[in-house]
């Protein structure tokens, strides 16, 4: 049995006919850059998310950079991000000469909270970037209220939560990435909606902001060779757009498969000593980009080694919080410790989860984990 964190090849083989036809069509048309498939995918993706505008771009990191560029933030202004996330979130901020300010996360859901954000707000704060980490939405209602009170922009990094939905206290539900001013996402192959290379997109509510982002992603031009803004070159290529159109039709099924795997893990691993299962955020659905355990009272490294011996991969997302990273320590001088992020970095362990897992694989993985905890707590 070959176990992998994600099974991209298995998924491709399951969709082979549709995907191959879509690729062949692009090759036949040979509109490799900004072909009609790009516009079509942007429209389909906007419809799926029920958001007025989608601007596609080259990757999720560019999407974050473009979002920040569009808001005209000035060097030295502060943007609050979780300390426990992938580096891209802070990288785009630092690259633009802005100051990333790290806030701690909730110990159960791994997500930013309004209370943790509020502690970090200063007169220089201009924006907040909640990250819908591992596949569920940050509790957005209190964060949006806080942002409104302090006149802050909200950029949702929804690279890991495409398809998840958040329910507001009044009962209305919205898709991840459509609640703040701008949502950013990534189509990196292993993401819930992944292409076969790099890709990204921005989800936007407002006309003027959408028009500006479209220009920024295309050398600052609306009309060819007339550059009104200093932009960048960030494009989703036509082949990837065609592949994404096919995969978008299957996204809810993909997410359903991930949820089924998570439910199996939950059932089998419940009540095992020394580990905590992922906690569900009550207001959000969960699309399980990752299924992440907390090794609260067993050695994570020993568990990893035990799994590895049986050919079961596992990953630590993320081993070092951002404020402890060499490149980002400078932004955290003389600041309060972020104990939850530090503790999680030492205790989290993500198990294989993807769209092609069969019961046999899941039984094998959970049996190995049970065997380990039984040995530890004999």
Residues that bind ligand PLP (CB under 6 A): 59-61, 85-86, 88-89, 131, 157, 159-160, 186, 188, 198, 200
- In whole angstroms, give the CA distance from residue 143 to residue 149: 10
- In whole angstroms, give the CA distance from residue 203 to residue 188: 17
Task: Write the CA distances from 198 to 191, 249, 341, integer angstroms.
Answer: 11, 19, 28
**Considering the complex, what minimum distance in angstroms separates the CB of residue 371 from ligand PLP?**
31
CA dihedral 75, 76, 81, 86 (to 10 degrees): 60
Nearer to ligand PLP, 292 or 361 (CB): 292
- In whole angstroms, give the CA distance from residue 372 to residue 298: 10
**Considering the complex, what minimum distance in angstroms separates the CB of residue 350 from ligand PLP?**
12
- What residue number has its CB nearest to ligand PLP? 60
Angle between helix 88-95 and 60-70 (nearest 10): 40
Tokens of 255: 């997410």
Q: Is 16 a catalytic residue?
A: no
Nearer to ligand PLP, 59 or 245 (CB): 59
Of the residues 148, 149, 175, 191, only one is catalytic, namely 191
CA angle 65, 70, 75 (to 5 degrees): 70
**Considering the complex, what minimum distance in angstroms separates the CB of residue 198 from ligand PLP?**
6
**Considering the complex, what minimum distance in angstroms separates the CB of residue 360 from ligand PLP?**
29
Nearer to ligand PLP, 157 or 306 (CB): 157
Nearer to ligand PLP, 101 or 111 (CB): 111
Nearer to ligand PLP, 88 or 294 (CB): 88
Q: How many CB atoms within 10 Å of residue 331? A: 20
- In whole angstroms, give the CA distance from residue 357 to residue 36: 34
- Kindly tell me the burial class for residue 259, based on how many C-beta atoms sit within 10 Å of its own C-beta (0-12, 13-18, 19 or more): middle
**Considering the complex, what minimum distance in angstroms separates the CB of residue 70 from ligand PLP?**
17
Q: Which residues are catalytic?
A: 191
């Amino acid at each position: 049995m070959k176990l992998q964190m994600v099974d991209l090849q298995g998924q491709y083989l399951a969709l082979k006919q549709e995907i191959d036809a879509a690729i062949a069509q692009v090759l036949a048309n040979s509109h490799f850059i900004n072909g009609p498939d790009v516009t079509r995918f942007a429209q389909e993706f906007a419809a799926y998310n029920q958001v007025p505008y989608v601007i596609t771009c080259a990757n999720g990191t560019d999407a974050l950079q473009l979002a920040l560029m569009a808001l005209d933030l000035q060097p030295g202004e502060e943007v609050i991000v979780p300390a426990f996330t992938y580096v891209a979130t802070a990288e785009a901020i630092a690259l633009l000469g802005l100051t990333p300010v790290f806030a701690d996360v909730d110990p159960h859901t791994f997500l930013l909270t309004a209370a943790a954000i509020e502690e970090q707000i200063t007169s220089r704060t201009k924006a907040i970037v909640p990250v819908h980490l591992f596949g569920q939405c940050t509790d957005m209602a209190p964060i949006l209220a806080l942002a409104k009170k302090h006149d802050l922009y909200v950029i949702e990094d929804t690279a890991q939560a495409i398809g998840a939905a958040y329910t507001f206290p009044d009962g209305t539900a919205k898709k991840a990435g459509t609640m703040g001013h701008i949502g950013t996402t990534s189509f990196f192959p292993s993401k819930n909606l992944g292409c076969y290379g790099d890709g990204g997109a921005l989800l936007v509510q407002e006309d003027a902001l959408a028009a500006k982002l479209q220009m920024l992603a295309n050398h600052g031009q609306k009309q060819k060779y007339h550059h009104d803004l200093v932009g960048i070159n960030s494009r989703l290529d036509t082949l990837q757009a065609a592949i994404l159109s096919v995969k978008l039709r299957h996204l809810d099924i993909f997410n359903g498969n991930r949820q089924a795997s998570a439910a199996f893990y939950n059932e089998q691993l419940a009540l095992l000593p020394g580990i905590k299962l992922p906690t569900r955020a009550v207001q959000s659905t969960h699309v399980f980009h990752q299924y992440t355990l907390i090794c609260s009272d067993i050695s994570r490294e020993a568990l990893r080694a035990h799994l590895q011996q049986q050919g079961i991969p596992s990953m630590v997302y993320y081993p070092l919080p951002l404020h402890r990273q060499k490149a980002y320590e400078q932004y955290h001088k003389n600041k309060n410790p972020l104990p939850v992020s530090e503790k999680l970095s030492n205790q989290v362990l993500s198990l294989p989860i993807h769209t092609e897992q069969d019961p046999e694989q899941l039984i094998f993985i959970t049996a190995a984990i049970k065997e380990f905890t039984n040995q530890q707590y004999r």
